[in-house]
Amino acid sequence: TERSFQKQDAVFLNAKGVNKKNSRWYKEVGLGYKTPASAINGTYIDKKCPFTGNVSIRGRILAGTVSSAKMTNTIIVRREYLHYIPKYQRYEKRHKNIAAHLSPAFVGVQKGDKVIVGQCRPLSKTVRFNVIKHQKQQQKGSKQFQQF
């Protein structure tokens, strides 16, 4: 989609005597999360990717469910929780939506999948999180409050 020449910032392409096929830069995000094989062996260029771009994961690590994957490289993650009401001694359901950057390393992310997102620097007006792990949705019969 980009018209300009795409390259990674950390790779110098004009070096003499260097194998250009193996000159892909990637990193571990840390915290026990593995770098996907598609990030190591892939050919995509994404400066906002936590594995191959100039973004570090720091701060909060949150889990949630994908509620929308309609945007390009961005998903909406829904986090559901219970809020206690002392007067009635009961809980009510609440939720928050988080916009997160979806690296091209994760292919096939659909609505309903579980993801783990890590906080990073602001990537756009609303995006402050990056997907660091993806888990496919298990097929279940009925619609229900998943987390509790």
pLDDT digits (tens, 9 = 90+) for 41-99: 988 888 999 999 999 999 999 999 999 999 999 999 999 999 999 999 999 999 999 99
Q: What is the three-class DSSP state of 99?
A: strand
With beta carbons less than 8 A apart as the criterion, state whether 129 and 120 touch: yes
In the predicted structure, residue 18 carries a pLDDT above the cut 60: yes
Rounded to whole angstroms, the Cα distance separating 82 from 90 reads 10
Rounded to whole angstroms, the Cα distance separating 140 from 24 reads 40
Q: Sign of torsion, CA 7 9 13 19?
A: negative
pLDDT digits (tens, 9 = 90+) for 100-116: 999 999 998 999 999 99
pTM: 0.85
